[in-house]
């Protein structure tokens, strides 16, 4: 399965091994969209350029915005079709992203004030509408908010990899109401008895001339796949004896969170924790450590565990990869497209031996951060007073994390 995409202006067509065939969207001039699944032909990405025109728009959240996978018909670059609803762009990724991408779109009918939600095909239910009954291990939204606030205070007092004055500045702001350093949303509360997948992301605001500056587009495409996974989790809960949930933990490399990102998260109705821890601007190491530190604090406090999967803010995580994460009990790897000498990093069983295909091959653990999936229980063997989980001081650090655990 594919975990994420690293896009570039010169990314060639990538032919994936049969082992990694997955559900992909293929675009072409005569066929705008085609869903592929369990195909016998080699799965591939087709080069596709997005138009550069944009539609000026109001806040998508206030308009009931929607994120979805779309492909463009080149004959009419401002329109797409989603479940037979005419739609229009609100934001879109830069023109030099060559892969058929996730865009923020909304039905035109919503722009006229008629907020009629789209009907999902196949009888799927909105995961946000599922009832959650209070039970052992259940926390209301206000409960998890207050616990998370306390956890962040503890982390700031320790201020691992963060200068004390910067930690104190965030702490002072955290005491104020309202503040701009911490935001938590759990629309359905938090139930520790459910199988929990933690997606963790360190992020920072790029300058306007950076091609990744549109945070709504990049964070939004992650949200799209998380909503798909929530949908799958809801179905899993209905038809099995266990229920699943997903939590997105995001750390901003700054002394404050970005209101644009916070607005997007609240609009999405996914479960998230978003807080400031910086600025450090040093390879994201302090933020990576803070992400793991929060997960360890939470799982230890409520005596449960779950898989953890890093997702870069400029990557492209797929729900098909998230689904696989729930089965990880210690360590696992997901293939990453767009990296390494083969334009895909992966490990495969070849002639009875595990063969690594990756960049940085001289490193002991030569895989990208986004490839890793690990179970929170791997930290149980460490001293409970330990708070440095990402020990490498420079670029990369995956090998050092693996060695540490």
Q: List per-residue pLDDT tens for the chain, 405 residues long.
A: 334 433 333 322 223 222 222 222 333 333 333 333 333 333 322 222 222 222 223 343 333 333 333 333 333 333 433 333 333 333 333 333 333 233 333 333 333 333 333 332 333 233 222 233 334 488 999 999 999 999 999 999 999 999 999 999 999 999 988 789 999 999 999 999 999 999 999 999 999 998 888 888 888 889 988 998 999 999 999 999 899 999 999 999 999 999 989 988 998 889 999 999 999 998 889 999 999 999 999 999 999 999 999 999 988 888 889 999 999 998 888 888 777 777 777 777 888 887 778 777 666 666 778 888 899 998 888 888 888 887 776 566 565 565 566
Q: Is residue 52 part of a domain?
A: no
Q: Report the candidate in 50, 2, 47 with the shortest Cα–Cα distance to residue 22.
A: 2
Q: How many CB atoms lie within 10 A of CB 298?
A: 23
> For residue 361, what pLDDT is reported?
67
H helices of 242-374, in order, are 259-268, 285-301, 319-325
Round to whole Å and give the CA distance between 230 and 238.
12
Q: Is residue 106 part of a domain?
A: no
Tally of domains within the chain: 1
Q: Report the candidate in 262, 261, 244, 267 with the shortest Cα–Cα distance to residue 319.
A: 244
Phi and psi for 293 in degrees, rounded to 5?
-60, -40
Q: Report the candidate in 61, 104, 54, 324 with the shortest Cα–Cα distance to residue 224.
A: 104
Q: Is residue 248 part of a domain?
A: yes
> For residue 402, what pLDDT is reported?
57
Q: Is residue 114 part of a domain?
A: no
- pTM of the predicted protein model: 0.69
Round to whole Å and give the CA distance between 45 and 11.
10
CA distances from 331 to 22, 69, 93, 292, 379 (A): 21, 30, 33, 15, 12
350: domain range? 127-404
CATH code of 375's domain: 3.90.550.10
Q: Is residue 332 part of a domain?
A: yes
Q: Is residue 19 part of a domain?
A: no
Q: Is residue 287 part of a domain?
A: yes
Residues in the chain: 405
Beta carbons of 397 and 361 less than 8 angstroms apart: no
Beta carbons of 264 and 61 less than 8 angstroms apart: yes
Q: Is residue 104 part of a domain?
A: no
């Amino acid at each position: 399965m594919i975990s994420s995409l690293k896009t570039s202006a010169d990314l060639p067509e990538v032919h994936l091994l049969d082992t990694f065939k997955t559900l992909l969207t293929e675009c072409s001039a005569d066929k705008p969209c085609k869903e592929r699944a369990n195909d016998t032909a080699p799965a591939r990405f087709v080069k596709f350029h997005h138009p550069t025109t944009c539609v000026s728009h109001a806040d998508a959240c206030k308009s009931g915005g929607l994120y979805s996978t779309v492909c463009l018909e080149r004959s009419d670059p401002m329109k797409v079709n989603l479940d037979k609803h005419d739609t229009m762009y609100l934001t879109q990724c830069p023109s030099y992203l060559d892969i058929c991408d996730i865009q923020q779109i909304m039905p035109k009918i919503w722009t006229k004030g008629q907020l009629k939600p789209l009907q999902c095909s196949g009888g799927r239910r909105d995961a946000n509408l599922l009832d959650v009954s209070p039970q052992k291990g259940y926390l209301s939204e206000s409960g998890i908010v207050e616990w998370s606030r306390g956890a962040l205070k503890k982390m700031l007092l320790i201020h691992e990899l963060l200068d004390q004055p910067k930690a104190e500045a965030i702490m002072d702001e955290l005491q104020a109401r309202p503040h701009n350093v911490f935001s938590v949303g759990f629309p359905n509360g938090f139930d520790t008895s459910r199988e929990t997948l933690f997606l963790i992301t360190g992020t920072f605001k790029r300058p306007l001339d950076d091609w990744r500056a549109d945070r709504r587009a990049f964070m939004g495409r992650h949200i799209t796949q998380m909503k798909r996974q929530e949908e799958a989790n809801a179905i899993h809960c209905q038809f099995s004896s266990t229920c699943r949930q997903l939590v997105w933990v995001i750390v901003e490399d700054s002394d404050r969170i970005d209101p644009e990102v916070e607005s997007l998260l609240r609009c999405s109705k996914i479960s998230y924790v978003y807080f400031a821890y910086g600025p450090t601007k040093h390879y994201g190491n302090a933020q990576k450590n803070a992400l793991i530190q929060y997960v360890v604090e939470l799982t230890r406090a409520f005596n449960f565990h779950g898989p953890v999967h890093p997702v870069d803010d400029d990557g492209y995580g797929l729900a098909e990869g998230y689904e696989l994460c729930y089965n990880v009990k210690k360590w696992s790897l997901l293939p990453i497209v767009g990296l390494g000498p083969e334009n895909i990093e992966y490990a495969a069983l070849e002639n009875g031996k595990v063969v690594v295909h990756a960049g940085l091959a001289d490193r002991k653990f030569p895989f990208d951060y986004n490839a890793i999936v690990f179970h929170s229980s791997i930290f149980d063997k460490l001293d409970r007073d330990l708070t440095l989980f990402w020990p490498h001081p420079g670029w990369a650090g995956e090998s050092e994390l693996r060695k540490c655990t």
